[in-house]
Amino acid sequence: MKVTRIKSFSVRGDSGREYFVVRVDTDAGHHGLGEIGIVGWGVAITHAIEHLAELVIGAEPWETERLWQEMFRSGFFPADTVYSCALSAIDIALWDIKGKSVGKPVYKLLGGPVREKVVSYPHTQGKNISNLIENAKRDVDEGWKFLRWHQIETSKYGSSQPMRFDPLESIRLSVESFAAVRDAVGWDVGLCFDVHTRLDPAMTVQMCRDLEEFKPFFIEDPARSENPGTYRNLRKQINLPLAAGEQWGSKWAFRQVIEEDLIDYARIDLCIVGGITEALKITHWAEAHYIDIVPHNPLGPVSAAACVSLCMASTNVGVQEMPRRPGSLDTRLFPRQTEWEDGYSWCADVPGLGVDFNIEAAEGTYVKPSSIGITFQRPDGAFTNW
C-alpha cells in the first residue's frame, strides 16, 4: 500500500465555522483524514503540506515513525509551527489509513481502550456574566460534567479592530464570573478557566489567589508560551492546578515542564504538536510524572476524533475539550462524527478515526484561509494576546 495523493480542503460549514482538512489517498483504496491546528495560518500551511507531500507520496502509510522523522528533520532545520501543523494533519491521516487497512479503530492501534468513554467539557462562553450563567446552566442541564470559559473580555466582539482589553478590569470580571458560575451550578461540576495568555504573570498570580476559594479544576495558559521556564516562577506562587501546552509544536517544548513537574495537565494539541505519533510519546512521558493530558481541541470533528482516540487508549487523562456536542454541527460536511452522551465522548468501534468527510459537499464550500484573527489593545495602546 502506497500513498498516492495528499489534498487540502479549506472549507466553511453551514454553521459558518471554517475547517482545514487534509485527505491522504492510497493505491489500496483507503484514505485518511487529518486537520491542521492553526486555521489562520492556512495559506502558509497549504504550501508546507505541498512540500511535505513530496516526501510522503509513494511511501508506505504504516511507516509513521520514519515519515514523522523525515517530515520534521529533512530540511536540516527542525520544523517550525507552520510545518508541525502540516506534519500533524498528514500524520493523523496516516493513522486513519492504518486503522482502515486492518479494520480496526485507531484507539485499538494505540494500545486498546483503557476506558469506555472520555469525560468532556464544552466552551461555555457569554457576552456578559448573566449570559455566561445562562449558558452554564444550559450545558449542565444537557449533561456536561465540566464547564470551561476564558479570561473575560472588556470590549464586545464585533466592535472595530483592534478591540480593547483592560487587564485589571478583566481580572475583576473574571473573579466575579467564577463566583457566579460556582453559585449557579454548585460544587459537583468541574470548572476549567483559561487565562488564554492574556495576562502578565504577576497579574495571573494575583487573580489565581482570588480564585482559590472556588476550586477550579485547572487554570489554563496562565502565561505566554514562548518561555516554558516561566512556569517555574508560577508554580511557586499559584496554589491551583496548572494546564499548558496547546501552542507547543513538538515534544521538546514540553521537556522542561514535564521533567520539572511544573504543570498538572498537558494541553497537547494533536493538530499542532506533530499528530498522533508525537502526542503518544508526550502522553507516555507525562505519565511517568503523573501529569494527566487534557488535549486541546478547538477545531472540527477530525481533531476531536484524534483526541478522543488518544484519550481512550491512555491511562493519564483529565478531561477532553469538546467545544460543542459532536454531531450537532455541520453534519453535511461531516456526516459521521465522534459519539457523545451525557457529558462523555467516545469513538465508535469502526475502522480508523470514525469520521466521514463529504468530498462532494466540500468542493462547493471552499474558502480562502483567513490570515489574521482577533487583536486586542490594552488601554495604553499596547498590543496584547487575544
* 143 plus 277 within the same structural domain: yes
**In this structure, which amino acid lies at residue 258?**
I
* 134 plus 230 within the same structural domain: yes
* 95 plus 236 within the same structural domain: no
- The whole-angstrom separation of Cα 335 and Cα 321 is 21
pLDDT of residue 162: 81
pLDDT of residue 160: 66
* 343 plus 222 within the same structural domain: yes
Please report whether residue 271 resides in a domain: yes
Which helix (H) or strand (E) segment holds residue 44: the answer is: helix 42-56
Q: Which residue, 77, 12, 80, 78, is CA-closest to 47? A: 80
Please report whether residue 144 resides in a domain: yes
pLDDT of residue 369: 83
**In this structure, which amino acid lies at residue 122?**
P
User: CA of 206: how far to CAs of 179, 199, 203, in Å?
Assistant: 16, 11, 5
Please report whether residue 386 resides in a domain: no
Q: Which residue, 65, 62, 47, is CA-closest to 6? A: 47
**In this structure, which amino acid lies at residue 167?**
P
| 295 contacts 95 by C-beta, under 8 angstroms | no
pLDDT of residue 155: 83
Could you tell me the CATH number of the domain that includes residue 51? 3.30.390.10
pLDDT of residue 374: 76
Domain boundary among 40, 71, 103: 103
Domain that holds residue 146: 108-353
DSSP 8-state symbol, 213: G
Tens digit of each residue's pLDDT (9 = 90 or more) over 244-291: 999 999 999 999 999 999 999 999 999 999 999 999 999 999 999 999
Q: Which residue, 80, 234, 51, 219, is CA-closest to 148? A: 219
User: CA of 21: how far to CAs of 64, 330, 355, in Å?
Assistant: 19, 14, 12
- The whole-angstrom separation of Cα 59 and Cα 3 is 6
Q: Judge if pTM exceeds 0.85.
A: yes
Give the count of domains, the chain. Answer: 2
Is the omega angle on the peptide bond into residue 162 within 30 degrees of 0, that is, cis? Answer: yes
* 130 plus 242 within the same structural domain: yes
Residue-wise DSSP of 294-312: -----S-HHHHHHHHHHHH
Please report whether residue 359 resides in a domain: no
Please report whether residue 368 resides in a domain: no
pLDDT profile of the chain (386 residues), mean per 10: 97 95 98 96 95 98 98 93 98 98 98 98 94 98 98 76 90 97 98 97 98 98 95 97 97 97 98 98 98 97 98 98 96 98 98 97 88 81 88
Could you tell me the CATH number of the domain that includes residue 290? 3.20.20.120
Please report whether residue 365 resides in a domain: no
Tens digit of each residue's pLDDT (9 = 90 or more) over 175-234: 999 999 999 999 999 999 999 999 999 999 999 999 999 999 999 999 999 999 999 999
- DSSP percent split of the chain into helix, strand, coil, nearest 5: 40, 15, 45
Burial class (CB in 10 A: 0-12, 13-18, 19+), 201: middle
Please report whether residue 233 resides in a domain: yes
* 149 plus 274 within the same structural domain: yes
